[in-house]
């Protein structure tokens, strides 16, 4: 339990990095599965209510787990650990959904593809993680891959207000990654997740009071509640813990290189479970995303 001692031994460092990449990849997979589960929910359930209930279901699992394992957020650092929750799911979902209400979904998907690039750029001045040329190239390739996967180009008629709202959400998501990386170096992943849940619930609750849901009837359908709970636990619970764990071993920039794999996982899941088919350009985009992520991972390991 000598967690305060620096671990500089190379044999321990490299396996830790491999586990870090595995954690980030696992988080991306959880996000993809949760996205597939909630695909039909957003058509009937108000977004604010859906996010609140998903996060509440996750909190009802995360907090008991943290208490039973002795990993509750320390009082002296609880506010600091809650910061990622203010950003995501709090501000990210609020701005993204507000923009999505008046902007085509294809435009939102393309805009969020640039989160990886923003993370790398923010990590440079904020975390002093200077990107290598190969990392920057992989970011560009990953972004191109996501654009190909969507199978569409940005709509020139997209409202400026909607685009701005979504970009604010993208910026909040990128800041969340940078903030989580800074905190994950000294904090327990489960304690971080527990603290971020409270902050996220507070932000969404304020949003519900400011923009009340007209009807909660679709929310209480018995058939929908299990899906809401499972998707929330995966999206806000499992994904957050794996993400925080991965960031304790991997820098923010290389970690962000794996984010586009969410589109790949989601595309495969949609093909298998929803009957959605990918065209040639989308398959090529998936290959670009996976290749870019692998190149970045290998280059970063060689650097360390």
The answer to whether the CB of 145 falls within 8 A of the CB of 289 is yes
* Vertex 265: Cα angle to 264 and 267 (nearest 5): 65
pLDDT at position 59 is 96
Contact partners, residue 42, CB within 8 Å, separation at least 6:
50
Q: What is the DSSP letter of 91?
A: I
pLDDT at position 158 is 58
Reading the block at residue 278, the tokens are 């990918």
CA distances from 188 to 72, 73, 256 (A): 9, 8, 20
Confidence of residue 271 (pLDDT cuts 50, 70, 90): confident
Cβ neighbours, 10 Å, residue 187: 20
pTM: 0.79
pLDDT at position 11 is 41
The residue count for the chain: 304
Residue whose token pair is 């294809």: 106
Q: Pick from 297, 84, 118, 301: which is nearest to 189 by CA?
A: 84
The answer to whether the CB of 282 falls within 8 A of the CB of 148 is yes
Classify 39 as helix, strand or coil.
coil
Mean pLDDT of the 188-205 span = 94
pLDDT at position 268 is 79
- Predicted confidence (pLDDT) at residue 235 exceeds the cutoff of 80: yes
> Which residue spans within 145-237 are E strands per DSSP?
none
What's the distance, Cα to Cα, between the start and end of the chain in Å?
25
d(CA 265, CA 29): 6
d(CA 33, CA 227): 11
- Predicted confidence (pLDDT) at residue 153 exceeds the cutoff of 60: no
109 sits in which H/E element:
helix 105-112
Percent of the chain surpassing pLDDT 90:
27
Q: What is the pLDDT of residues 2-38, one digit of tens each?
A: 433 434 333 445 567 889 989 999 999 998 898 888 8
d(CA 65, CA 198): 15
Reading the block at residue 138, the tokens are 């992989």
The answer to whether the CB of 244 falls within 8 A of the CB of 192 is yes
Q: Is 156 exposed, middle or buried (0-12, 13-18, 19+ CB in 10 A)?
A: exposed
């Amino acid at each position: 339990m000598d967690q305060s001692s620096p671990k500089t031994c190379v044999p321990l460092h490299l396996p830790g990095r491999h586990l870090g990449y595995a954690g980030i990849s696992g988080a991306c997979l959880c996000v993809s599965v949760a996205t597939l589960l909630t695909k039909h929910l957003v058509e009937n359930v108000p977004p604010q209510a859906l996010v609140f209930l998903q996060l509440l279901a996750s909190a009802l699992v995360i907090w008991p787990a943290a208490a039973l394992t002795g990993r509750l957020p320390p009082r002296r650092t609880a506010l600091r650990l809650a910061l990622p929750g203010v950003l995501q799911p709090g501000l990210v979902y609020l701005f993204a959904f507000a923009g999505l209400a008046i902007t085509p979904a294809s435009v939102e998907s393309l805009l969020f593809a640039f989160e990886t690039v923003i993370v790398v750029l923010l990590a440079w001045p904020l975390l002093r993680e200077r990107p290598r040329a190969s990392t920057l190239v992989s970011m560009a390739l990953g972004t191109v891959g996501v654009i190909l996967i969507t199978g569409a180009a940005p709509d020139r008629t997209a409202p400026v207000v909607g685009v701005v709202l979504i970009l604010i959400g993208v910026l909040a998501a990128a800041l969340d990654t940078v903030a989580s990386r800074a905190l994950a170096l000294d904090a327990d992943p489960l304690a971080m997740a527990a603290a971020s849940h409270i902050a996220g619930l507070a932000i969404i609750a304020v949003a519900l009071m400011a923009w009340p849901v007209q009807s909660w009837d679709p929310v209480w359908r018995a058939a929908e509640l299990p899906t809401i709970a499972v998707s929330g636990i995966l999206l806000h619970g499992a994904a957050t813990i794996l993400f925080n764990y991965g960031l304790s071993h991997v820098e923010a920039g290389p970690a962000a290189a794996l984010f586009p794999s969410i589109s790949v996982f989601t595309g495969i899941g949609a093909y298998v479970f929803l009957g959605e088919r990918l065209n040639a350009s989308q398959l090529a985009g998936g290959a670009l995303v996976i290749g870019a992520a692998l190149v970045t991972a290998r280059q970063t390991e060689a650097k360390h």
